[in-house]
Amino acid sequence: MNYPLFVESNHTAIYKAYRPRYPKELYHRILEFYFNKVNIDEINKKIPLAVDIACGSGQATIDLSSYCGHVIGIDGSENQLKQASLKDNIEYHCSTAENLTFLPSNSIDLVTVATALHWFDIETFFQQVNRILKPNDGVLCIWAIGMPLLNNSKASEILNNFCQNDLNNCWSDRVNLVINHYEPILDKFPYPTTRIKHIIEHQQEMSIYEFVNLIETWSPCQKYCEIHGKDKLKELLKMFANNLVTCYIESTNDIVDRNFINNQMIVVKWIIHLHLMKKTIVDTH
């Protein structure tokens, strides 16, 4: 991974606190694909060994541990791994996605990448995946969670303005790949004859305070902080939060205290594109 993101200790702390977890439906789709079943209720066993690449502080790793016998979470940031959730059947290893040489060949049942592929040297990564996955049964699972959608039209305009104008010039070209759910690079994905996609809608209630803290974990906010400093970023996020509060106050019939609105739950929605593919002898590259 050539982009040293999510490494500063304060940033990894808010990453752990505010990054959302993924829905159960996503993991059920993975199990159905791995076990060649059409209904999760038909599955009463676990995937033996999974590797979660660029696991961060373990948002997906901890969930995978409920469906897998053992999970290895891998991330290039020591500070991310210090924040990671612990469980008896999870181990963590500090390494990049392109360096999986410590894993034996043909040994892994499942490799997952949760909204991180855009930061990789994908050709090198896919070579490593092809080496470590078990032939015929090994599954590669990549998903991308898109931009958040708000249940308030004026708040959506504020969010769009924040992303397009306030954070202008802070977005890496690579982020466009995840915004577009990796569609521009699907031709580079391995095992095309086995590949399928699921589109999963996921929504979550959170306060405006929590939502703004989630936004702060984004890489363009990290870049803005690098360019303008922490104080300027805090000012920008405070203005963003106040603008959102105003939108939700205007959508109610009562005059409500802003602090109350700041703690009121709002609905945030995401569209997740889940790409599943299986290593086959005839389809490897």
pLDDT (tens digit, 9 = 90+) per residue, 23-44? 999 999 999 999 999 999 999 9
Summary mean pLDDT of the chain: 89
pLDDT recorded at residue 264: 73
Say yes or no to pLDDT of 17 above 60: no
Give the residue from 27, 31, 82 showing the smallest Cα distance to 58: 82
Alpha-helical segments (H) within 3-88: 9-18, 24-34, 59-64, 78-82
pLDDT at 254 over 70: no
How large a percentage of the chain has pLDDT more than 70?
A: 87
Strands (E) in 76-173, as ranges, are: 90-94, 110-114, 139-145, 149-150
Predicted pLDDT of residue 83: 84
Q: Which residue has the higher pLDDT, 51 or 250?
A: 51
Identify the pLDDT of residue 52. 98
pLDDT band at 263 (very low <50, low <70, confident <90, very high): confident
Residue 216's contacts (CB-CB under 8 Å, 6 or more residues apart) are 14, 18, 233, 237
The domain made up of 9-283 has a fold known as Rossmann fold (3.40.50)
Domain-wise residue ranges, the chain: 9-283
Hey, is 172 helix, strand or coil?
coil
pLDDT, position 1: 44
pLDDT for position 2: 45
| 159 close to 148: Cβ distance less than 8 angstroms | yes
pLDDT digits (tens, 9 = 90+) for 53-81: 999 889 899 999 999 999 999 999 888 89
Q: What are 117-135's pLDDT values in tens digits? A: 999 999 999 999 999 999 9
- The closest alpha carbon to 190, from 131, 145, 146, belongs to 131
